Amino acid sequence: MVDSLLEATTRILVRDGWDGLSTNQVAKLAGVSVGSLYQYFPSKEALVKAVLEQWGQRLMADMMALAASFEREGASLDDAVKAVVKASLDLCRVDPVLQRALAQNVPRLGVRDEYENLNRRLVELLANWLSEHEELLGVDDPAMAAHVVVHVLDGLTENALLYRPELVHSARFQRHLERLVGNYLRRDVKPSKRGRKR
């Protein structure tokens, strides 16, 4: 029943937005009584919060699989950067309309702290990988670097979802994100010295 209610919430939120979402509509679409719905969720805020938490769990599972693949394949820094950027965009690409609806409603639901806790877990995951590969980095604080990377990608992908949705599927946008993150993390390569003209 919970899965049916969350699926109905998602469909209505995507179709009608926050203002068009109601517990009555969710119950009707899920094929249950409003009384049954209230046994699990006291309000539409609670329903959308549960949808957000479900999305967060999926995100963490994807990121854990990503981290495991790094270790199995002995990924280079370039490989890691491409994978992290692709993963960030893939999350938007799976259901960009739902992601946009969640991004619009997270602040008004008062669950920003929970959303930030999810980002903190992602930061820890990336920081662990960076700490194990410090010899590849041009930054001296892997934990801070992970914080910067996660929140930069989060901000840019959320902005794309809200204001430039065409960028979510843009290979050009993806390359720019890779360059941004890669240049930030990579150890500086000094240009070769050339003989000066006399």
Residue 6 maps to which CATH number? 1.10.10.60
Quick one: pLDDT band at residue 196, thresholds 50, 70, 90? very low
Where helices occur in 74-95 by DSSP H, the ranges are 77-94
For range 99-108, the mean pLDDT = 70
Question: Minimal CA–CA distance to 129: which of 178, 78, 77, 86?
Answer: 77
Kindly state whether residues 25 and 65 are assigned to the same domain.
Answer: no
Kindly state whether residues 26 and 95 are assigned to the same domain.
Answer: no
User: Containing domain of residue 27, as a range?
Assistant: 1-42
Kindly state whether residues 165 and 104 are assigned to the same domain.
Answer: yes
Residue 155 within any structural domain of the chain: yes
DSSP 137: B
DSSP 186: B
Residue 124 within any structural domain of the chain: yes
Instruction: Find all residues with CB under 8 Å of 158, minimum gap 6, and list them.
Output: 103
Quick one: pLDDT band at residue 72, thresholds 50, 70, 90? low
Residue 198 within any structural domain of the chain: no
Quick one: pLDDT band at residue 82, thresholds 50, 70, 90? confident
Residue 191 within any structural domain of the chain: no
- The number of folded domains in the chain is 2
For range 171-187, the mean pLDDT = 95
Where helices occur in 31-111 by DSSP H, the ranges are 34-40, 44-73, 77-94, 96-109
Rounded to whole angstroms, the Cα distance separating 166 from 100 reads 13
